[in-house]
Chains A and B, each alone.
Chain A
Amino acid sequence: MAEYKGVMVFCEATEGKLAAIATELLGCGRKLADDLGQELSAVLVGSGISGLAQEAIAFGADKAYVVDDTLLQDYQTDSYVSVMEKVVKQVIPQILLLGQTSIGRDLAPRLAFRLNTAASMGCLELAIDPESKLLLQTKPVYGGNAQAVFICESYPQIATVRAKAMAPLERDESRQGEVITVDAGLDPSAIRTKVLEKVPEEVAGIRLEDAEVVVSGGRGIGSAEGFEQLEELARMLKGAVGATRPPCDNDWVPAGAQVGLTGKIIAPELYIAVALSGSSQHMSGCSGSKTIVAINKDPEANIFREARFGVVGDWKKALPAFAEKVKELLAG
């Protein structure tokens, strides 16, 4: 029986480029592969994506496997699971990493079951156990109230990793690697779904995931009008507006603004939390922020345990004064 060896990363592409999550996974995968003294391979699946193989190498891969087929234009469970099953059986990696994205969340578990192994979803940390050489998979559980460390006792060990949990390597064009083409070998009749339409979310201004400053509000904001004040501050700071779940459920802000375990995961430079208590559920979507600043009238609110700076007081009084001063400082 062939030996399981090496670390493999499933690389997603967006708009003809390697997705940020792919570069983060390659950075993490490189470290794991070096710790094991083994190779790092990248897998690129799609249509017209072969040009990205060199990119994956520049970001750390030793080998890039390319499966390029028009049937792979859109992500579909049946086609992608089948192609990944084929690549894994050919390469036989010890570890397979994917992003905790809408694709990875669908692909990883189904592929794990097909390969008679298991996956850990949404990991924050991955490391090689020095003794057993198994992958230690750390992930939030109980809505962020706790974290768990799992090992998988079958190969390949599959894990998905949350966005912004890992750092990419510096892009290095001089890095050498091998590009290997794999035939998709798909039977179109075995694809039991059809993508009828893709509807992008409408975003005015900067995308929440890309913003360096995020101004976020909770239940305490109380209305859509209240959120307009947060938007004004966000515009001033060239940032975006986020929210906890209640404002989204109440339609004060679009559902896409939700930050948390059930919403978006972000890691801006500055996170300004206004009138939100800081539940574990919410914090697990923004705890990677560099600086958290809180405005809340409840001095006991959990957010003050997470924040670097805080003001205890009614946001309706504090926020306009804060915004006014910020405007003055930015103008000066």
Chain B
Amino acid sequence: MNMIVCIKQVTDPEAPPASFKIDPSSNKVVPPQGVSPVIDPYAEYAVEAALRIKDALGGKITAISLGTNQLRDIVKKPLAMGADELILLEDEFFDEGDSWSTAYALAMSIKKLADYDIVFCGREASDWNAGQVGSGIAELLGLPSVTLAKKIDITDGKARVERVTDEGYEVIEVSLPALITVSNELGEPRYPTIKGIMGAKKKEAVIWKPADIGVEVSQIGAAGRHTKLLKLFQPVREGKCEIVEGESPEEAAVNLALKLREAKIL
């Protein structure tokens, strides 16, 4: 199986909420002090999904990441986990894109790689929570797609995908090549081994510029956007909590029940 996984470097979503700040003049997130960026957690599930197939059937995994200021120690994590190659779409023209321009650049890179059975993406990225790039790549490349996967089995040259739905899950069979987006229900991604980390350090990422994938700079990054961000803001919390007192937690809890009764909530 030849697999491609799209990954992304993001602000650590597990950083404490208090460290999250926005610069209103630029509508941008201020990177929190002393918190290192990470690989998008949903993309890590996508890497894990590919690794499980590689464990079972063998094959090659190529990770692709788009962005600027990509820290090598961070974006090499898929290599440390067990992926074989890393391609970085690194150029300022790729920057500030939306789902459309990002999917376009990724799709053209995947087209250049040509030989693949499955393209994996996370179901969304933890920064913009857009959840469109995977389906967009599939549409641009004319591939069948299955989103929100929690389990993938390969049989007779087809993938059987357990797809998370609002009611439970469904089992979908899809012909290959296909694009699959992976959800967190897949289960914990593996930790890189020491050997994996050492191996990743020695491996060089391949850098591709817009010309390498045959795209015009007007179609990618900020220039290729279909959407415009008007405003980015932090919702105001009301913070009008009434702390119900008592001599002990037990007494406070009893008072809470009485309070809720009084307010006709119970």
CA distance A313 to B227 in the complex (A): 47
**What distance in Å separates the Cβ of A213 from its nearest Cβ neighbour in chain B?**
9
Q: Contact at A199–B170, with CB atoms within 8 Å?
A: yes
Q: Which residues of B contact A262 (CB under 8 A)?
A: 184
Whether a CB of chain B sits under 8 angstroms from the CB of A101 is yes
Q: Contact at A150–B170, with CB atoms within 8 Å?
A: no
Chain B, interface residues (CB within 8 Å), range: 35 or more
Q: Contact at A193–B172, with CB atoms within 8 Å?
A: yes
Q: Contact at B244–A309, with CB atoms within 8 Å?
A: yes
Q: Contact at A200–B167, with CB atoms within 8 Å?
A: yes
CA distance A74 to B173 in the complex (A): 13
Q: Which residues of A contact B188 (CB under 8 A)?
A: 249
Q: Which residues of B contact A74 (CB under 8 A)?
A: 170
CB-nearest residue of chain A to B258: A325
Q: Contact at A199–B169, with CB atoms within 8 Å?
A: yes
Q: Contact at A325–B253, with CB atoms within 8 Å?
A: yes
Q: Which residues of B contact A312 (CB under 8 A)?
A: 243, 249, 252
Q: Which residues of A contact B17 (CB under 8 A)?
A: 145, 279-280, 302
CB-nearest residue of chain B to A120: B227
Q: Which residues of B contact A195 (CB under 8 A)?
A: 170-172
Q: Which of B163-202 contact A (CB under 8 A)?
A: 163-175, 178, 184-185, 188
CB-nearest residue of chain B to A196: B171
Whether a CB of chain B sits under 8 angstroms from the CB of A293 is yes
Chain A, interface residues (CB within 8 Å), range: 35 or more
Q: Contact at A118–B226, with CB atoms within 8 Å?
A: yes
Q: Which residues of B contact A304 (CB under 8 A)?
A: 241, 243
Q: Contact at A109–B136, with CB atoms within 8 Å?
A: yes
Q: Contact at B135–A110, with CB atoms within 8 Å?
A: yes
Q: Which residues of B contact A106 (CB under 8 A)?
A: 135, 145, 147-148
Whether a CB of chain B sits under 8 angstroms from the CB of A270 is yes
Known A-B contacts A113-B103, A150-B228, A311-B252; the reply to A139 vs B171 at CB < 8 A is no
Known A-B contacts A120-B227, A201-B167, A261-B129; the reply to A293 vs B256 at CB < 8 A is yes
Whether a CB of chain B sits under 8 angstroms from the CB of A171 is no
Q: Contact at A109–B249, with CB atoms within 8 Å?
A: no
Give 1 or 0 for each of A119-161: 1 = CB within 8 Å of chain B CB.
1111000000000000010011111011111111110000000
Contact segment of A48-56, A222-230, A316-324 = A316-324
CB-nearest residue of chain B to A148: B232
Q: Contact at A113–B260, with CB atoms within 8 Å?
A: no
Identify whether the interface residues of A are mostly helix, strand, loop, or mixed.
mixed
Q: Which residues of A contact B103 (CB under 8 A)?
A: 113
**What distance in Å separates the Cβ of A109 from its nearest Cβ neighbour in chain B?**
4
Q: Contact at A309–B242, with CB atoms within 8 Å?
A: yes
Q: Which residues of B contact A308 (CB under 8 A)?
A: 240-242
CB-nearest residue of chain A to B15: A145
CB-nearest residue of chain A to B127: A142
Known A-B contacts A121-B129, A304-B243; the reply to A102 vs B253 at CB < 8 A is no
CA distance A166 to B124 in the complex (A): 23
Whether a CB of chain B sits under 8 angstroms from the CB of A255 is yes
Q: Which of A121, A149, A299, A306 meets B131, CB within 8 Å?
A: A121
CA distance A142 to B229 in the complex (A): 14
Whether a CB of chain B sits under 8 angstroms from the CB of A294 is yes
CB-nearest residue of chain B to A324: B254
CB-nearest residue of chain A to B239: A305
CB-nearest residue of chain B to A136: B230
Q: Which of A119, A140, A197, A321 meets B171, CB within 8 Å?
A: A197
CB-nearest residue of chain A to B174: A193
Q: Contact at B170–A295, with CB atoms within 8 Å?
A: no
Whether a CB of chain A sits under 8 angstroms from the CB of B71 is no
Q: Contact at A193–B144, with CB atoms within 8 Å?
A: yes
Known A-B contacts A105-B148, A305-B239, A318-B252; the reply to A198 vs B170 at CB < 8 A is yes
Q: Which of B129, B165, B185, B257 meets A326, CB within 8 Å?
A: B257
Q: Which of A113, A146, A322, A325 meets B100, CB within 8 Å?
A: A113
Q: Which of B29, B174, B248 meets A142, CB within 8 Å?
A: B29
CA distance A102 to B168 in the complex (A): 10
Q: Contact at B13–A311, with CB atoms within 8 Å?
A: no
CA distance A146 to B140 in the complex (A): 30
**What distance in Å separates the Cβ of B20 from its nearest Cβ neighbour in chain A?**
4
**Which 4 A-B pairs rank lowest in CB-CB distance, beginning with the nearest?**
A313-B249, A109-B132, A201-B168, A192-B144
Q: Besides A113-B139, A198-B168, A317-B250, 17 other CB < 8 A contacts?
A: A113-B100, A122-B129, A136-B230, A139-B129, A145-B234, A148-B233, A149-B229, A153-B228, A199-B170, A269-B265, A305-B237, A309-B260, A310-B241, A311-B246, A312-B249, A322-B257, A329-B261
24 A–B contacts, CB within 8 A, in A order:
A106-B147, A117-B226, A141-B127, A142-B13, A146-B232, A146-B234, A148-B231, A150-B229, A152-B226, A192-B178, A193-B144, A193-B173, A196-B171, A198-B167, A200-B167, A262-B184, A270-B260, A280-B17, A311-B252, A313-B252, A317-B250, A322-B254, A325-B258, A326-B257
Spell out B's residues near A (CB within 8 Å): 11, 13, 17, 20, 22, 29, 98-100, 103, 124, 126-132, 134-136, 138-140, 144-148, 160, 163-175, 178, 184-185, 188, 225-235, 237-244, 246, 248-254, 256-261, 263, 265-266
